[in-house]
Chain A
Amino acid sequence: MADIVVPPLGGVEEVRVVRWLREVGDEVHAGEAVAEVEAEKATFVIEAPVGGRLYAILVPEGKTAAPGDVIGKIEEASG
C-alpha cells in the first residue's frame, strides 16, 4: 500500500482538498493527477506516487490537510 501525501509546499501550513480526480476503486498510473489541493489561491496537483488502484480517500473534498499528511492510499499493482 502506498500513501498519497501532501508534499511540503514552502511555507504553506494548511491546504484544502478541492477535488479528487479519481474515485476509490479506480485504476491509477504513476504520475497521474489524482487530487487537487488549494492554498492561498494556488491550486496544487497531487500525483499518484505509484500505479495501482485507488484504495482509500482519507481526506475528502472540502476538508483540510497539512503538508506531510496522507490523504489517500493506493494498492500497488502486482507484478
Chain B
Amino acid sequence: MRRAVLWARLGRVPYGEALELQRYLHRLRCCGEVGDLVLSLEHDPVITLGRSADPRHVLADPLALEAAGVEVVPVERGGDVTYHGPGQLVIYPVVDLRGWGRRLRWYVWALEEVMLRVADAYGITAARVPGRPGIWVGDEKLGAVGVYVRRWVTMHGLALNVDPVPDGFRWIVPCGIHGAGATSLARLLGRPIGVREVEERAMEAFGEVFGASVARVRPEEIGAVTAG
C-alpha cells in the first residue's frame, strides 16, 4: 500500500516562522498526533548556519546583510552555510522514517533524487557528487539538502534553486565549498521560470520516490497557522 502524505503549500514564509511551524509539527508527528506531511514554500532572504557551519563561510559584512534585510540564523540541520530566498523552492518533509525502513542515507539520497527528477523534467542533467550532498551541474550547485532527525521524524529538507536572485549566493561560500558556485533552473534554461510549476513537479517526484500518495491540503488542515 502506498503511504499517504499530506502536502501543504505555504507560499512565502519568513524563515523563523517556518522553523517554529516545523518544530511544532515535528513534536506532533513524534507523538503520532499528525501523519506524515510535507511543507513547500519560499523564504524571505536568509542565511542559515547548519551544525557544522564555519562562520567564515558567510562572506558578506554583517552590516550589509542587515541593511539588505537578510537574517543570519543558526539551525539544527546538518551541513554548513546556505542561503534561502525568493525564487528558491524549499520542501520540508515532516515524516517518520520508521515508515521507510529507518534508512537515513536513503532519505538524503531520496531528497536528492526528487530534485534530480525535477531537473530532468526540464531537460537538465544534474548529478550527485560524492562527498558533496545536494545536486550539481558541473561545479555549480542547483539544489541543497540539510536534514534533522529525532525519533526518526524528520525536519528541514531540500532547497532547489528555481529562479533566485543571484546576489544571495555571493554572500556565502555555499556549503563551505570554496570555488563552488550556485546555479538555478532559470539560468540553465535561459528563461524565467515560476516556483509554482516547479513545486507541482517536485511533489509529483516526491510521490514517486517515496512511493507515497500525496494529497494537497490547506495549511490550516494540518494544524498549521501560517502567514497569509
A70, CB-defined interface residue at 8 Å: no
Number of interface residues, chain B, beta carbon within 8 A: 24
Contacts of B102 in A (CB 8 A): 8-10
B133 in contact with A11 (CB, 8 Å): no
B146, CB-defined interface residue at 8 Å: yes
With A and B bound together, what is the CA distance between A13 and B140 in angstroms?
A: 27
Q: Chain B's interface: helix, strand, loop or mixed, by majority?
A: mixed
B71, CB-defined interface residue at 8 Å: no
A19, CB-defined interface residue at 8 Å: yes
Contacts of B78 in A (CB 8 A): 18, 38-43
Contacts of A45 in B (CB 8 A): 148-151
Q: Chain A's interface: helix, strand, loop or mixed, by majority?
A: strand
Number of interface residues, chain A, beta carbon within 8 A: 19
Contacts of A10 in B (CB 8 A): 101-106
B147, CB-defined interface residue at 8 Å: yes
13 contacts between A and B (CB under 8 A): A9-B104, A11-B106, A18-B78, A38-B52, A39-B105, A40-B78, A40-B108, A41-B77, A41-B79, A41-B108, A42-B148, A43-B50, A44-B150
Q: Which residues of A contact B (CB under 8 A)?
A: 8-12, 16, 18-19, 33, 36, 38-45, 47
